[in-house]
Copies of this chain bind each other. A is one copy, B any other.
């Protein structure tokens, strides 16, 4: 599937979804739309992903250049930025589907809904959960696959990235592994999944369980994309529901080097790593026993390579299990601990 990724004025540093799709998605990316960087190429900004031209807007592409437009950024609050309307309109007029992970649903936008109907296009709001989700039955532990869940010390420390890197590397090493996507970027990358943070609260665990039951007998390993943190003042409910709904066997603790307080909630300090391990394992145990078997440290704020390696070693030593930075270093030791 050929796509264009909309990332106006935010590529690459504030375009987490765009980068995730470029890095892990099974799409042929024909262009990135960013009016602030038009004329550059993706490769001028990011080294380790597929290259593509950056253009001003949909109108700069050949009429049949892409099959879909994917919204690869989200403003604070998740609204639709009216400066994107021309691009979405052009895409629909050309018969392209539009994929978005906003809180604002494109299919509820009158103009877009009409254009999509007229031109036979699909509007896929990945953050709009399926209507048939329900409460967990408590069955996830019965699937054949080993279930591995990424858990974190905060939001945005690399759970999605770690999940995707581990799945890719496990597959390359010959294992039958699949990702269970739980958030908008993961869902866009994989092309399916339930947006756990948007389901009815009572169905949080059930919406994860449904995916585990669907895929759990088809693969040897499922890597579940975790969300939030178990001590996050706002998002811990989602984290807890994913932990009990997926009933993992193994946990990978994701953290960002140097992080001391919760992002956006700076009056809340992170507890010790030991406390995180105790909380995640202690909370899992009565439902399904799980151990933290590996760590993933995000060292993006550490410029020096040697300092980054030392930070990973310190993290590894504090956790007592193999750790790595999945982007900066290899995942061999971590994968060995997870897959053994």
A interface vs B, CB < 8 Å? 135-138, 196-206, 230-241, 243-245, 247, 265, 267-271, 275, 278-279, 282-283, 285-287
Closest Cβ of chain B: how far from A183's Cβ, in Å?
11
Q: How far is the CA of A244 from the CA of B229 in the complex (A)?
A: 12
Contacts of A137 in B (CB 8 A): 234
**CB within 8 A of A267: which of B138, B233, B278?**
B138
**Are A236 and B278 also in contact (CB < 8 A) when A268-B138, A271-B286, A287-B231 are?**
no
Q: How far is the CA of A135 from the CA of B198 in the complex (A)?
A: 11
Question: B279–A237 contact, CB under 8 A?
Answer: no
Q: How far is the CA of A41 from the CA of B184 in the complex (A)?
A: 55
Q: How far is the CA of A240 from the CA of B198 in the complex (A)?
A: 16
**Are A244 and B233 also in contact (CB < 8 A) when A201-B196, A279-B283 are?**
yes
Contacts of A204 in B (CB 8 A): 201, 237-238
Question: B287–A205 contact, CB under 8 A?
Answer: no
Question: B235–A202 contact, CB under 8 A?
Answer: yes
**CB within 8 A of A200: which of B200, B239, B265?**
B200
Q: How far is the CA of A109 from the CA of B239 in the complex (A)?
A: 35
6 sampled A-B residue pairs with Cβ under 8 A: A136-B234, A138-B234, A198-B200, A236-B283, A236-B287, A237-B241
- Most chain B CB within a 10 A radius of its CB, from A136, A197, A204, A247: A204
- Most chain B CB within a 10 A radius of its CB, from A137, A240, A244, A265: A240
Contacts of A202 in B (CB 8 A): 197-198, 234-235, 237-238
Q: Which B residue's beta carbon lies closest to that of A137?
A: B234
Closest Cβ of chain B: how far from A30's Cβ, in Å?
33
Question: B201–A197 contact, CB under 8 A?
Answer: yes
